[in-house]
Amino acid sequence: MHLILLGPPGAGKGTQAQRVAERYDIPQISTGDILRGAVKEGTALGRKAVSFMDAGQLVPDDLMLDLVRERLGRDDCSEGFILDGFPRTVPQAEGLEKVLTDLGESVNHVLSMKVDSELLVKRLTARRVCPDCGRGYNLQTQPPNKEGICDACGASLIQRSDDVEKTIRNRLKVYENQTAPLEGFYRGKGLLHLIDGVGTIGEVFERMVAGLDALNSNGEL
Ligand code: AP5
Ligand code: MG
């Protein structure tokens, strides 16, 4: 099962990829999470990436492809994976094909999540995350039991540095200009499936699983 989850910022890629990964026992590979980890640790990659991320711009393709080549080569990817936030440009998608060909694999399906822009801005301005255990919250839909405090580990919740409205709007523009063309790229290969990303988290997950199980029973996964 080699899956790609496409979708604009706030579509629910991370939320759904985590659930899909658990359901099918494959790793979730979030390039955003890997980059934020590198920034936190102050690695060379993190130092190169941070200014792009804080501006809502994409990190250069060559850095992203090096990162993904290394990650997909690890043992836990031998039965498949779900990519969350990669590829984000046509050169990244072409680079991914080469990486997978070298590993004797290929992408099976691309799920593209559709959510209207104003709802995306609402979701992202309300998102909070735990800096210690990584658990996600949303002030509108999934608030913590005690304001500002992680239910799981008691740490103080923070807002992602790119979750301020001006940067969110920039990320949405970058998505439209640089990432949305990937729908055409994958449609042309017969791999694209559109998923309505509006509804509760559980409803969207059920839609994804129904789609994936149908592909599975057709022998396509
Ligand atoms: P990345 O971390 O990938 O961010 P993004 O694409 O902007 O997406 P988000 O993580 O903000 O949203 P999501 O779709 O995961 O939604 P989530 O599930 O959290 O990338 C960050 C940056 O890193 C980029 O800007 C770039 O600089 C760099 N980068 C990363 N990958 C790169 C690449 N390949 N190339 C170049 N640069 C790269 O949900 C959002 C909120 O909504 C949450 O609070 C959640 O609880 C809530 N929510 C989710 N689903 C629902 C629902 N159904 N109903 C109600 N609320 C919901
Ligand atoms: Mg995410």
State how many domains the chain has. 1
Can you give the pTM of this predicted structure? 0.95
Q: Which domain holds residue 212?
A: 2-115+172-218
Q: Would you say the CB of residue 195 lies under 6 angstroms from ligand 1?
A: no
Q: Would you say the CB of residue 95 lies under 6 angstroms from ligand 1?
A: no
pLDDT digits (tens, 9 = 90+) for 53-92: 999 999 999 999 999 999 999 999 999 999 999 999 999 9
Atom number in ligand 1 closest to CA 201: 53
What pLDDT does residue 216 have? 80
Residue 80 resides in a domain: yes
Tell me the CA distances in angstroms from 175 to 25, 48, 71, 151, 154, one per residue in order.
29, 21, 23, 32, 34
Tell me the CA–centroid distance for residue 13 and ligand 1, in Å. 6
Residue 141 resides in a domain: no
What percentage of the chain exceeds 70 in pLDDT?
Answer: 99
Q: Would you say the CB of residue 29 lies under 6 angstroms from ligand 1?
A: no
- C-alpha–C-alpha distance, residues 126 and 136, integer Å: 11
Mean pLDDT by 10 residues, the chain (221 residues): 97 96 96 96 96 97 96 94 98 97 94 97 97 93 96 96 96 98 97 96 96 82 62
Q: Would you say the CB of residue 15 lies under 6 angstroms from ligand 1?
A: yes
Catalytic residue among 13, 36, 71, 128: 13
- C-alpha–C-alpha distance, residues 32 and 35, integer Å: 5
Angle between helices 44-55 and 61-72 (to 10 degrees): 120
Question: Do 43 and 63 form a contact (C-beta atoms < 8 A)?
Answer: no
Residue 162 resides in a domain: no
CATH number at residue 22: 3.40.50.300
Residue 54 resides in a domain: yes
Residue 138 resides in a domain: no
What pLDDT does residue 210 have? 93
Atom number in ligand 1 closest to CA 15: 18
Residue 9 resides in a domain: yes
